[in-house]
Amino acid sequence: MNKNELWERLNEVFRDVFDDRKITVDENTTADDIEDWDSLEHINLVEAVEQEFRMRFKMKEVSGMKNVGEMARIIEERGK
């Protein structure tokens, strides 16, 4: 999977989870940038990303993510 495909798939997951077709995330996107991104939606988001990419995040990875770029890097690393 190339970077463009990864970001397309991530954006689609975010749009589905937050039910907003206008959302576009990038490496610097954080919970502060998306209005409905609270702790409950964070759990839903992580689960949706795990399903989309057929992987599981470790608890320390989830708690350490500061932005969507860190999430993408983990996905990319696991895909190698």
- Architecture of the structural domain at 3-78: Orthogonal Bundle (1.10)
- Nearest 5 degrees, angle CA 29-CA 37-CA 62? 70
Residues near 7 by beta carbon (within 8 Å), at least 6 away in sequence: 25, 26, 72
Q: Domain extents for the chain? A: 3-78
pLDDT string in tens for the chain (80-residue length): 899 999 999 999 999 999 999 999 999 999 999 999 999 999 999 999 999 999 999 999 998 899 999 999 999 998 76
Amino acid occupying residue 22? K
Residues near 44 by beta carbon (within 8 Å), at least 6 away in sequence: 17
The conformation of residue 41, written as its DSSP 8-state character, comes to H
